[in-house]
Amino acid sequence: MSIIITLVLIWLVTKVLSVFTKHGDFITVPDFTGLKIEEVEKFADEKNLEYQIIDSVFNSNKARGTVIGQDPLPNMKVKSHRKIYLTVVARSVERVAMPNLIDLTVRQAVSMLETFGLKPGELEYVQDMATNAVLKQKYKGRPIIAGAMIEKGSEIDLVVGRGENGGAATIPFLYGKFRSEALNELKAASLNIGEEHFADGVDSNQARVYKQSPAYSKRGSINLGSKVSLWYKSDKKFDFNALLEKLRKDTVSE
């Protein structure tokens, strides 16, 4: 008899708790990243969820007004009408003052551009005794003066002195680098990007270099401003550790 009473009590407690906590009334949080707010609103209504934008940030690699972060994260279990907190890309563009890059070395100019939230564009080498020094700075093909206000994330092209003897650049080791890292290292090495090849439809922001041409060599060098072509894969589909280990052994044996 006591067992029956115990079971009945357990059943009653479970029912009472389910009334107060709506036990079982959980929803899997969808992935809102990449969606525009208009799409989020529709999606949230369908899932009986609410949302609130808590931050708006600048990101030149993402479309304005799209979601780039959320809390709770996708696939978590939450109650109906739970509020999802979102971080979105700012719709208005942040502007920065153009720095003065004249007479800086290319490496110094690239570093300063990054500090100001700008990107190094094409390097154009011309005959000038000032080897690897910036002679002109351009925005969208036209000279731009220091202090001019431009959109953050803009590309700045540089006209650079080649030197009396033409000058040579060391080919950097780009294998395993993410695309953004590889592009910055190319510019810092006084080189330009050539053709880019993306395997398996990999996202350019997640792409890593598995091949470069010209290939890296400890004693290899090319003319200043030359182009280096890159091939990319995703590290989810390619063993970069094995590639880097092989290349390390090959480099040691040179």
Cα angle 190, 196, 199 (rounded to 5 degrees) comes to 140
Cα angle 233, 237, 240 (rounded to 5 degrees) comes to 65
Domain boundary among 62, 89, 116: 89
Which residue do the tokens 């997640």 mark?
206
15 found inside a domain: no
250 found inside a domain: yes
- By CB atoms closer than 10 A (0-12, 13-18, 19+), residue 75 is exposed
**Among the listed residues 176, 197, 172, the one whose alpha carbon sits nearest the alpha carbon of residue 186:** 172
Domain boundary among 166, 188, 216: 166
Q: What is the pTM of this model?
A: 0.60
pLDDT in tens, the chain (254 residues): 556 555 545 555 455 444 444 445 788 888 888 888 888 888 888 878 888 888 888 777 788 888 989 898 888 888 878 888 999 988 877 889 999 999 999 999 999 999 999 999 999 999 888 888 999 999 999 999 999 999 888 999 999 998 877 778 899 999 999 998 999 899 889 999 999 999 877 788 788 999 999 999 888 889 889 999 999 998 888 899 999 998 887 765 55
CATH number of the structural domain spanning residue 120: 3.30.10.20
Same domain flag for 55 and 45: yes
Residues 45, 152: Cα–Cα separation, whole Å: 35
Tokens for 20? 């107060």
